[in-house]
């Protein structure tokens, strides 16, 4: 039996039955009965903006899968580059497909000298690296004139490769500039994540050898951040992409959305919060402040997850591996205490507030030596694969331009009053 809902217009008595398909009801059916009456849904709390086959997320059960594969298995067995292929192509690559993919990404890591010398070096000395990244990604569209050919499969593929390959180079360039260090060119003999670490940390050694535990931990974090279905930045990517803008401009918009403290900036906010709390003894007082509504517990709560974020569980384990190399981040004990108290407190239990992906990731980044300003940049690098997978899916679905309606609540018609008469 097909499941359905029935809507009755009480003004006319007319009814319409709408089938429930894959957990959704088509708003276009509703519009047939009620033209001009809009769903009022600020923040899209109850709106599915598209059909998607990329990421499955069950927030109640704490399940996250990319293309059907559980995030736990991918984090344990895969690599970021393989996951990027999976997100974009729908299937895991064969060995030869992976080798071709790895080779193409590796040989597109260089950026045009003008991007670095004229563009990035034009920023003020203390520019935020995320601001630099947003602008640099947008600027790339001016270097690749074929970027506008979004329906040419070969041109589209080229931009996807370029974007995934160049994000770490731009990110590292922004970091080196902000700390006054010279730019490091990509080393094509290194894997994706080790190459990124080399561009970040290399000083005078002929070849930078990343600590394999740290390189793997960062790769796991990249896997965990690669996609998260219709989050704020992915929605920005889809909305801008729906106007048929080139993928660099759409990715820059997604980066800009990720910049905010409610989204990609939350792990930075977590570290600032932990530094403000200072010691375990101050944790109960801070929790009391959160409960009074004065502040939010950063890294807690999620629009979709109403149980423990599965990514946070994996990150917590990864943190142990990292701290075995770097030494324990002194803020860890405060974080653990906060979690312990919050998870047993009625305020957090009744609101289903659990640690999210950002609660522990910042502690790892900080222990690895990343400055706080780099945290959203570290998020943007892997999320680029997810953004592009959604952009591509949207174009292939021949979707309409994003153009929501509004419910107007302003003044009725009134006549203009000349300045001297006001
Ligand atoms: N600390 C204290 N109370 C909270 C928190 C928190 N972190 N998050 C939600 N609440 C309370 C909120 O006050 C409200 O309580 P009440 O019903 O009494 O008014 C209730 O929980 C529901 O909150 P909401 O703001 O309506 O929930 P939302 O789905 O709109 O917001 C959120 C989701 C992630 C923006 C929010 O939980 C938050 O601000 N968290 C802290 C920032 C953070 O960690 N962001 C990272 C999100 S995960 C990574 C990503 O997606 O980028």
Model pLDDT for residues 350-384, shown as the tens digit of each residue: 999 999 888 899 999 999 999 999 999 999 999 99
pLDDT at 31 over 90: no
Report whether residue 300 contacts ligand 1, using a CB cutoff of 6 Å: yes
Q: 20 pLDDT band (50/70/90 cuts)? A: very high
- Residues with active-site annotation: 263, 302, 358
Residue with CA nearest ligand 1 atom 30: 303
Report whether residue 315 contacts ligand 1, using a CB cutoff of 6 Å: no
Choosing among 3.30.360.10, 1.10.268.10, 3.40.50.1110, 1.10.230.10, the CATH entry for 266-367 is 1.10.230.10
pLDDT, tens digit (0-9, with 9 covering 90-100), for 201-237? 999 998 999 999 999 999 999 999 999 999 999 999 9
Q: For residue 45, how far is its CA from the centre of ligand 1 (angstroms)?
A: 13
Best-predicted range by mean pLDDT among 13-27, 339-353, 380-394?
380-394
Nearest atom in ligand 1 to 303's CA: 29
If one counts every other C-beta atom within 10 angstroms of the C-beta of residue 132, the result is: 24
Domains 71-259+390-396 and 266-367 share a fold: no
pLDDT, tens digit (0-9, with 9 covering 90-100), for 288-337? 999 999 999 999 999 888 888 899 889 988 999 999 999 988 899 999 99
C-alpha dist (Å) from residue 51 to 54, 220, 399: 9, 28, 10
- CA 392 – CA 407 distance, rounded (Å): 31
Burial (CB count within 10 angstroms: exposed 0-12, middle 13-18, buried 19+), residue 127: middle
- CA 273 – CA 282 distance, rounded (Å): 12
Residue with CA nearest ligand 1 atom 43: 299
Residue with CA nearest ligand 1 atom 50: 263
First to last CA, the chain: 65
Q: For residue 213, how far is its CA from the centre of ligand 1 (angstroms)?
A: 33
Structure-token pair, residue 68: 């059907």
Do residues 316 and 362 touch, judged by C-beta distance below 8 A?
Answer: no
Q: 251 pLDDT band (50/70/90 cuts)? A: very high
Report whether residue 236 contacts ligand 1, using a CB cutoff of 6 Å: no
The mean pLDDT of 171-198, rounded to a whole number, is 94
C-alpha dist (Å) from residue 224 to 74, 149, 184, 382: 9, 31, 27, 9
Report whether residue 297 contacts ligand 1, using a CB cutoff of 6 Å: yes
pLDDT at 1 over 80: no
Nearest atom in ligand 1 to 299's CA: 44
Q: Phi-psi region for residue 306, left (φ > 0), alpha (ψ -120 to 50) or beta?
A: alpha
Q: Where are the domains of the chain?
A: 4-58, 71-259+390-396, 266-367
If one counts every other C-beta atom within 10 angstroms of the C-beta of residue 106, the result is: 18
Q: Which of 271, 253, 251 is nearest to 261 (CA)?
A: 271
**How much of the chain exceeds pLDDT 90, in percent?**
84
Q: What is the mean pLDDT of the chain?
A: 94
Cβ neighbours of residue 326 closer than 8 Å, sequence gap 6 or more: 214, 367, 368, 369
Q: For residue 264, how far is its CA from the centre of ligand 1 (angstroms)?
A: 14
Report whether residue 264 contacts ligand 1, using a CB cutoff of 6 Å: yes
Report whether residue 102 contacts ligand 1, using a CB cutoff of 6 Å: no
Q: 136 pLDDT band (50/70/90 cuts)? A: very high
Q: According to the model, what pLDDT value does residue 308 have?
A: 86
Q: 263 pLDDT band (50/70/90 cuts)? A: confident
The mean pLDDT of 128-146, rounded to a whole number, is 95
Best-predicted range by mean pLDDT among 50-54, 265-269, 312-316?
50-54
- Taking the alpha carbons of 240, 69, 262, 41 in that order, is the dihedral positive or negative? positive
Residue with CA nearest ligand 1 atom 49: 263
What is the fold, at CATH topology level, of the domain defined by 71-259+390-396?
Answer: Citrate Synthase; domain 1 (1.10.580)
């Amino acid at each position: 039996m097909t499941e359905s809902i029935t809507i009755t217009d009480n003004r006319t008595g007319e009814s319409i039955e709408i089938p429930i398909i894959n957990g959704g009801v088509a708003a276009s059916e509703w519009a047939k009965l009620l033209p001009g009456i809009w769903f009022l849904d600020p923040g899209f709390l109850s709106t599915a903006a598209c059909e998607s086959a990329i990421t499955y997320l069950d927030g109640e059960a704490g399940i996250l899968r990319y293309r059907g594969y559980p995030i736990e298995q991918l984090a344990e067995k895969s690599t970021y580059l393989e996951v990027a292929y999976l997100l974009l192509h729908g299937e895991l690559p064969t060995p030869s497909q992976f080798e071709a993919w790895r080779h193409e990404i590796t040989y597109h890591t260089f950026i045009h000298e003008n991007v670095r010398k004229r563009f990035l070096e034009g920023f003020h000395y203390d520019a935020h690296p995320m601001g630099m990244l947003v602008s640099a990604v947008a600027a790339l569209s001016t270097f690749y004139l074929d970027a506008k050919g979004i329906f040419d499969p070969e041109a589209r593929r080229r931009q996807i490769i370029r974007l995934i390959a160049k994000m770490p180079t731009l990110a590292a360039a922004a970091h080196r500039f902000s700390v006054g260090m010279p730019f490091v060119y990509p080393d094509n003999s290194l894997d994706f994540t080790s190459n990124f670490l080399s561009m970040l940390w290399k000083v005078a050694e002929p070849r930078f050898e990343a600590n394999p535990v740290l390189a793997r931990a960062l790769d796991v974090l990249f896997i965990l951040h690669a996609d998260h279905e219709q989050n704020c930045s992915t929605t920005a990517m889809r909305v801008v992409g729906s106007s048929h803008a080139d993928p660099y401009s759409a990715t820059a918009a997604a980066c800009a959305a990720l910049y905010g403290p409610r989204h990609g900036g939350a792990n930075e906010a977590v570290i600032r919060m932990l530094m403000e709390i200072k010691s375990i003894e101050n944790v109960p007082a801070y929790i009391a402040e959160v409960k009074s509504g004065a502040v939010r517990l950063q890294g807690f709560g999620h629009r979709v997850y109403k149980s423990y974020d599965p990514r946070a569980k994996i990150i917590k384990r990864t943190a142990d591996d990292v701290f075995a190399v770097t030494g324990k981040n002194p803020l860890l004990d405060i974080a653990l205490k906060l979690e312990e108290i919050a998870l047993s407190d009625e305020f957090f239990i009744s609101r289903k507030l659990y640690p999210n992906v950002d609660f522990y990731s910042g502690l790892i980044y900080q222990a690895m030596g990343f400055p706080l300003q780099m945290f959203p940049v570290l998020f943007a690098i892997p999320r680029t694969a997810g953004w592009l997978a959604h952009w591509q899916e949207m174009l292939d679905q021949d979707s309409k331009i994003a153009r929501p309606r509004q419910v107007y609540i302003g003044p009725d018609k009134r006549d203009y009053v000349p300045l001297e008469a006001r």
